[in-house]
Amino acid sequence: MGKMFTAISEDHGQFIRKQHIFFVGTAPLAEEGNVSLSPKGYDSLRLLSPNRVAYLDLTGSGNETSAHLMENGRITVMFCAFEGQPNIIRLYGTGKVILPGSQAWEELYPQFTPLPGARQIIDIAVDKVQTSCGFSVPFMSYEGERDTLQRWAGQKDEEQLTAYRLQKNTKSINGMPTPIGVQLGAE
């Protein structure tokens, strides 16, 4: 059954690398704020060390994770097996947002396969790793990646993507600022 670890082991890493989807959970400190849970796909996650992971975050219709991390840093990343042996791994830690143009972006971005619409990197310091059984997770077959987001972003130039982010990515649904909003002067 479930166990707690202080770092990502090689076995954990092997499991994580095989997953086609992961889920990111964050929340504001305010009780009335919404908890965010986002599925992530593509080859967008990198294991950087036993206590550090990062993922390339793509332009989307919201930016909750970014706002929550700017406020309090708390983040959970979950992986679960839909094929093969049942397993769930959760990574608990603190995250920070890395924006294009920063020194940290220049250092981390080369680790990723470039994807159209990349807007930020979420860099996570992992302090706890939890495994659990996953016995009730259904079997589901992987058929492939959707290309809708890549096609949409690929049809836009940087000016159009910036305009979209200014409209959709500068505040959370609860009105909290995001690092993109601060960078674009949307305050």
Dist. CA 184–CA 181, nearest whole Å: 5
CATH of region 3-179, choose from 3.40.50.720, 3.30.460.10, 3.40.710.10, 2.30.110.10: 2.30.110.10
Read off the pLDDT of residues 108-127 as tens digits, 9 standing for 90 and up: 999 999 999 999 999 999 99
Question: Tokens standing for 23?
Answer: 């889920």
Q: Is the pLDDT of residue 25 over 90?
A: yes
What's this model's pTM, rounded to 2 decimal places? 0.96
Place of tokens 């305009």: 163
Residue 98: which residues within 8 A CB-CB, separation 6 or more?
54, 104, 105, 108, 120, 121, 122, 123
- Quote the CA–CA distance of 96 and 73 in Å, as a whole number: 6
Strands 88-98 and 74-80, bridge-based pairing: antiparallel
| Contact present, 54 and 122 (Cβ < 8 Å) | yes
- Averaged pLDDT for residues 11-18: 98
Residue with tokens 């601060």: 182
Query: Taking 70 as the threshold, does the pLDDT of residue 168 lie above it?
Result: yes
Residue type for 24, please?
V
- 133: its two tokens: 């059984």
- Distance, in Å, from the CA atom of 35 to the CA atom of 140, rounded to the nearest integer, reads 26
Q: In which band, very low, low, confident or very high, does the pLDDT at 187 lie, cut at 50, 70 and 90? A: low
- pLDDT for 4 beyond 70: yes
CA distance linking residue 17 with residue 21, whole number of Å: 10
Domain ranges, ordered by start, for the chain? 3-179
